[in-house]
Structure 1
Amino acid sequence: MSWVDDVLLAGADDSPCLTLERTLDRAAVRELVEQEQQRLTSAGAHKGSTVALRLPPSLALITTLLAAWRLGAQVALLDVRLAPGEVATALERLRPQFLVESTAGAPGALRGFSTAAETVVTALDGLPAATDHALLQLSSGSTGPSKVIGRSAADLTAEIERYTRLDGFPQPGERVVVLASIVHVLGLVGGLLHTLHRGAELVLPARTTVDGIRRAIGADLRPTTVLGAPVQAEILASAGDGPELPGFKAMITGGDAVGDRLWKAFTERYGATLGSMYGMTEVGVIATDLRGAHRPQLAPAPGMELEILDGQILIRTAGSPYVGLTDPTRWVDGLLRTKDAGTLDRATGLLTVHGRMDSQVSIGGLKVDLLEVERTLAELPGVADVVVVHDRDITAYLTLTDPAAEAGLTAAMGPLLAPYKRPRALHVLPAFPRTATGKPLRDPVALRSHIVAPTG
């Protein structure tokens, strides 16, 4: 029996399992997974094959993922929101033998899932699995050589078990409304895989508007937890009057810290707890404060061994999570360098995360590498120099070789960057403020001071 059957799909046939456009019990989900497995087999996939999935949030994504794993294939997950150029780069790096795509494309911005889920399996000139990893992911926003991340079935199972030991995480028979993307680590492992294993019911709301989320929460009186990003908690907290939600137990967020103002507004508005999680694609959940009791500190997740060296958070792991070309400085002597700054309170064992030590930022719970955005803009016609910073939003400052190029910059970014990576503002400077050694300053205040106000 496969780990999919043992860990994810075991349980009573008639227990509610997944709710998208309708609720499916475990027997129905097992049947759909079996059908998808037969379809992959008919296309030529088998144990050891490599399969890339580029599907919108949907029943098809879930059942195809489970079917490929049940077959013994190695699965690479590609976010459907990636631009065509990003997809081409990912396929070139991953070299999958099969690509499964949807005829529907990405759902609308406020859709929680796609209902038009017909899929197409295409055979590619790829390579079979060279490692025992069940899952491959490209670290969000990066095309660097050390950013293909592999996780084995044993590693995923161990993380699922860590979730079961977290006080305050959803229990058997409860419901989990997942707003986080299920192709990224929080939505995938904390949402989909843990929920399947735990015997809870995973719910993807039809719409991720305030009314849509509230409708999904209020559809059942059973205890319900929402899994998403702080920005979604902010939207819910600031919303007007709505229906009573007696089953609303908690919201748990990942990606960004939850401040005192948001915590107070949310908990007073709904009477539900608001918790935080810190993790990364390489290892999953690292530390949590699921009830908001330790803000801004977090308790290390069960089994996670943390160290602080030169102000950086290090995680002890059995092996490097990276596949293929690697940066030798990221995993050394059994310790993974997170590139996150942090401090560990020796008296309480609690962790404080101070933010990134490199160029990655979190936008609505999704990681964006500012240097990748910068490199992409630097290649556009007419651009001389560019600096991209996170100044409330992603903001780009540029100098141009051709002033006429400014009008076409936004359109030129479209095919090259996913929407959440694109700068919300582009400022053309007459010249960059620079350091004594000639490097452009990256201080947002200094950059803003060099913006020339329009005349007229």
Structure 2
Amino acid sequence: MGETAPKRCTEGAWVDDILLQGDGGDVALHLGEAVSRAQLRELVAAEQARYQAAGLVAGGVVAVRLPPSLSCIVAMLAGWRAGAQVALLDYRLTTHEVGKAVARLTPQLVVEPVTDVSGTLRGFFDVTTRVTPLRTGRPAASQHILLQLSSGSTGPSKVIGRTVGSLLAEIDRYGQLDGFPHRGERTVVLASIVHVLGLVGGLLYGLASGTQVVLPARQTVDGILKAVAAGDEPTTVLGVPSQAAVLAAAQNPPRLPQLRRMITGGELVRADVWERFTHGYDAELGVMYGMTEAGVIAADLTGSTRPGLTPAPGMRVRVEEGQILLGLPESPYVGPSDPTRFVDGWLRTKDAGSFDDATGLLTVLGRLDSQVSVGGLKVDLSEVEASISALPGITGAVVVQGTGIEAFVMVEERAVFDGLADCLAARLAPYKRPRTLHVLPELPRTATGKPVRNADVLRAAARSAAGV
């Protein structure tokens, strides 16, 4: 660790001044029990000393591979306070995947659980951590303080970097969104705290704004609703559309006057989910559009402009040849990347969209790579997917292009799947219809809750389901 790192804007003062400031007695976090700001400051300082004793210096790199937990929150804050670059790895990665990530990111320290944890519906864990110095580690090669791997929903992950300025600008954008929680309110965070929505929109914004951050004990309907009911303050639930769908499917949900709204990000919310949620809970269901590369880009937090979204304050967004472009001061990618993604200050999102000049609203139309050619005719796979998802008895669908158009669906009962081909024949032109239909008990999802759209992974899941 004796090498010299490049000059970096990584002094830890921003952690104390922005994230850990405030009355020491205020509740900052709630993970089964309340954690005050004073307690959080003490834990972070102790963890920082632990890293420095292991050899971490300002400009170093620490990889954090921990499940959602107080230990995970303390670890990332301690790394930043020490002036280090923090690389966040999802705890669900396999040993092989962790090895590849470490080889790409070259951290000097790796923070992991002493004992691996499991439990897909756990909201948080109580873990003891170990800190492992790596002789192969190198100082940070860039001024980014945060490194994340993209979700990999359509292909290999990319290394994405965020600076102090980028994170603080996003925190400020959240504060300017009409309807986002503020001091004196609570946010029940269902989204992963090592990915951009849960990390910045949930954890970092909550710490900076004085909003209490709550992680439910279990991410079941009962666990989430108990977390909402545990406080009288106005409460927002922050998660992904699949979690909204689970809540919307609950029968006779309890009256929760403190529940103001749920806000989702990551993919589009189905119309039937929006209807069931808003009527069942007498609360709003808002949506946000964003990317790991930049955070929140546009939003409709009340559901009043759907499907149109209002660009977030300070975001430069335009649509060129049907593709959403995002103005950024520099490329967000660290290491090798596609040189066509960021050109002349504009990031090509690979998302299709349109602007309404009269209202200034942005409509996100899905991934551009969902548009394929069948017999010389253009087919938008997102249109096929939406048509399937809208059918009664369909609880989830992913459509991809393999040897032909293939659909992978979840159904309420087998009879729905048996009649699916006939239903689609009445709704889609022949060239748009899937050549192959597969039924799955659950759609494979990335760590951030997005449906996997890799045809090989989906087919493997279908073969496994058929074997069972």
Q: Normalising by structure 2, what TM-score?
A: 0.78
Q: How does 1:204-223 map to 2 (within 5 A)?
A: 204-223=215-234
The verdict on how the C-alpha distance between 1:183 and 1:15 changes in structure 2, with shifts beyond 3 A counting, is: same
- Secondary structure of the residue aligned to 1:66 is helix
Q: How does 1:305-324 map to 2 (within 5 A)?
A: 305-324=316-335
> Which residue number corresponds to residue 131 of structure 2?
121
1:279 to 285, 290, 293: 290
CA distance in 1, matches of 2:238, 2:77: 21
> Which residue number corresponds to residue 335 of structure 1?
346
Q: Normalising by structure 1, what TM-score?
A: 0.80
Q: How does 1:142-181 map to 2 (within 5 A)?
A: 147-181=158-192
CA distance in 2, matches of 1:389, 1:155: 39
Q: How does 1:55-454 map to 2 (within 5 A)?
A: 55-115=66-126, 117-124=127-134, 125-141=136-152, 147-358=158-369, 391-392=408-409, 422-423=457-458, 426=461
CA distance in 1, matches of 2:131, 2:232: 40
CA distance in 2, matches of 1:92, 1:142: 21
1:146–1:325 CA contact under 8 A, matched in 2: no
The verdict on how the C-alpha distance between 1:144 and 1:343 changes in structure 2, with shifts beyond 3 A counting, is: same
Query: What count of residue pairs does the alignment treat as equivalent?
Result: 392
> Which residue number corresponds to residue 429 of structure 2?
none
- Following superposition, the deviation at residue 390 of structure 1 comes to 6.1
- Following superposition, the deviation at residue 53 of structure 1 comes to 0.6
Which deviates more from structure 2 when the two are superposed, residues 94-103 or residues 274-283?
94-103
AA paired with 1:288? A
- Following superposition, the deviation at residue 104 of structure 1 comes to 3.5
1:103–1:118 CA contact under 8 A, matched in 2: yes
The verdict on how the C-alpha distance between 1:392 and 1:304 changes in structure 2, with shifts beyond 3 A counting, is: farther
CA distance in 2, matches of 1:18, 1:144: 35
- Following superposition, the deviation at residue 425 of structure 1 comes to 5.7
CA distance in 2, matches of 1:163, 1:359: 30
- Following superposition, the deviation at residue 144 of structure 1 comes to 7.3
The verdict on how the C-alpha distance between 1:389 and 1:190 changes in structure 2, with shifts beyond 3 A counting, is: farther
- Following superposition, the deviation at residue 86 of structure 1 comes to 1.5
Runs of 4 or more, structure 1, over 6 Å off, are 142-146, 359-362, 385-388, 417-420
Gaps of 5+ in 1: 363-368, 375-384, 394-413, 429-452
- Secondary structure of the residue aligned to 1:298 is strand
The verdict on how the C-alpha distance between 1:145 and 1:334 changes in structure 2, with shifts beyond 3 A counting, is: farther
> Which residue number corresponds to residue 436 of structure 1?
none
CA distance in 1, matches of 2:156, 2:222: 42
- Secondary structure of the residue aligned to 1:63 is helix
AA paired with 1:113? F
The verdict on how the C-alpha distance between 1:56 and 1:334 changes in structure 2, with shifts beyond 3 A counting, is: same
1:137–1:149 CA contact under 8 A, matched in 2: yes
1:146–1:324 CA contact under 8 A, matched in 2: no
1:51–1:96 CA contact under 8 A, matched in 2: yes
Q: How does 1:8-87 map to 2 (within 5 A)?
A: 8-87=19-98
Deviations 1:434-456 (A, max 9, x none): xxxxxxxxxxxxxxxxxxx99xx
1:56–1:107 CA contact under 8 A, matched in 2: no
The verdict on how the C-alpha distance between 1:337 and 1:278 changes in structure 2, with shifts beyond 3 A counting, is: same
- Secondary structure of the residue aligned to 2:369 is coil
Root-mean-square deviation over aligned CA pairs: 3.0
AA paired with 2:76? L
CA distance in 2, matches of 1:87, 1:206: 26
Deviations 1:236-270 (A, max 9, x none): 11112343312111100011112332222111111
Deviations 1:397-445 (A, max 9, x none): xxxxxxxxxxxxxxxxx9xx999855376567xxxxxxxxxxxxxxxxx
The verdict on how the C-alpha distance between 1:390 and 1:97 changes in structure 2, with shifts beyond 3 A counting, is: farther
> Which residue number corresponds to residue 437 of structure 2?
none
- Following superposition, the deviation at residue 358 of structure 1 comes to 2.6
1:107–1:113 CA contact under 8 A, matched in 2: no
AA paired with 2:408? D
- Following superposition, the deviation at residue 17 of structure 1 comes to 0.6
The verdict on how the C-alpha distance between 1:349 and 1:25 changes in structure 2, with shifts beyond 3 A counting, is: same
CA distance in 1, matches of 2:97, 2:187: 31
- Following superposition, the deviation at residue 142 of structure 1 comes to 7.1
1:40–1:121 CA contact under 8 A, matched in 2: yes
The verdict on how the C-alpha distance between 1:146 and 1:239 changes in structure 2, with shifts beyond 3 A counting, is: closer
1:146–1:322 CA contact under 8 A, matched in 2: no
CA distance in 2, matches of 1:198, 1:136: 23
- Percent of residue pairs identical: 56
> Which residue number corresponds to residue 395 of structure 2?
none
- Secondary structure of the residue aligned to 2:111 is strand
2:86–2:146 CA contact under 8 A, matched in 1: yes
